[in-house]
Structure 1
Amino acid sequence: MQQNLQNINLKTGAPMESHAASVLTPYAFSKLQEQLVLAAHYASFQMEDGFLVRHHTKLEGGRKVYWMPREGIISCSCHQFELSGILCRHTLRVLSTGNCFQIPERYLPVRWRRVTGTPPSKLVRDPQRNHSENVQLLRNMVSSLISESGKSKERLEIATEGVSMLLSRIREQPVSSTHGNAIQRNV
């Protein structure tokens, strides 16, 4: 994992940024990193029932952020996390102000996570995981494959050859009537 992190450009130096870089796919990390950079331009004001977060140049308006540190729950009136799965600048500002050095686990959705050290075959066979979670795991692996393969001509050749052989093996397998269409709908 450390080798992968050497290729990532950290823009804020914040512990949350390093944590996100080690957990999120490159695409998700770039989106979260944009929000972290913007969060530095926002002020947060603690109120009775949460925080008011607004751009440092504004005197009015802002977004309402509710944070329950003990429960690890944070939400914002902009609803960016609910829409994209990426925390917004407002919530990141409150977390930073509250000395939170890692993004809470529940705000790192499976669909945006890098492939873990657990062998993927064990994850797919896990009875606690449903079919759509396994499809998402495959998407994450393919995203990582593309990111890593594009770094050199040699890597790209290895990936292309490997994927070609893998596709041949997959096409030899029978299609299950219960799951075959579900994958197509999710693409």
Structure 2
Amino acid sequence: MASATTFYDFKVLDKTEKELPLSQFENKVVLVVNTASKCGFTPQYAGLEKLWKSVSEKHPDDFAILGFPCNQFGGQEPGSNEEIQGFCQLNYGVTFPILAKIDVNGGNASPLYEWLKSEKPGLLGLKRIKWNFEKFLIGKDGQVKERWASTTKPESLEQTILQELAKGAPAKKSDGAEE
């Protein structure tokens, strides 16, 4: 989707593989995470859930976490979408959306992830996702604000997310364009 200019321009598949327009998250701060159930970082699901509950308590309609399962790193997400949902709920009590499994690198990479990586390259300007549980923060304006490595614990992101939430919604010009 070369014409995409914001996060809201994309559509992804939900856990049942139905199209989900990301425009429904417009004017929200969104944390996007590529996830896996059999990874050394899998316990981050607990941290993500804690973060989700803590921030949502203060900003119930302004924040979302979206998990994107991916099997590209060591085959650590082999299950079906249904199995992944069950695993996340049973083992970590996950209540934020875990969407359909995707690729984040390579020729079959999700257009959303291609855009995220081009907007916010990683260390040394490398675009590729290095492992499970990399995180991207999307501001209310639909732009990528931050990118964190797998080793960054979700709980450590709360202050940055709250600061982004405090910025408010983007202003609209009279012609409908954002300022």
Structure number with bigger Rg:
1
TM-score, length of structure 1 as denominator length: 0.25
Q: Which has the bigger relative contact order, CA under 8 A and spacing at least 6?
A: 2
Higher strand share: 2
TM-score, length of structure 2 as denominator length: 0.25
Higher helix share: 1
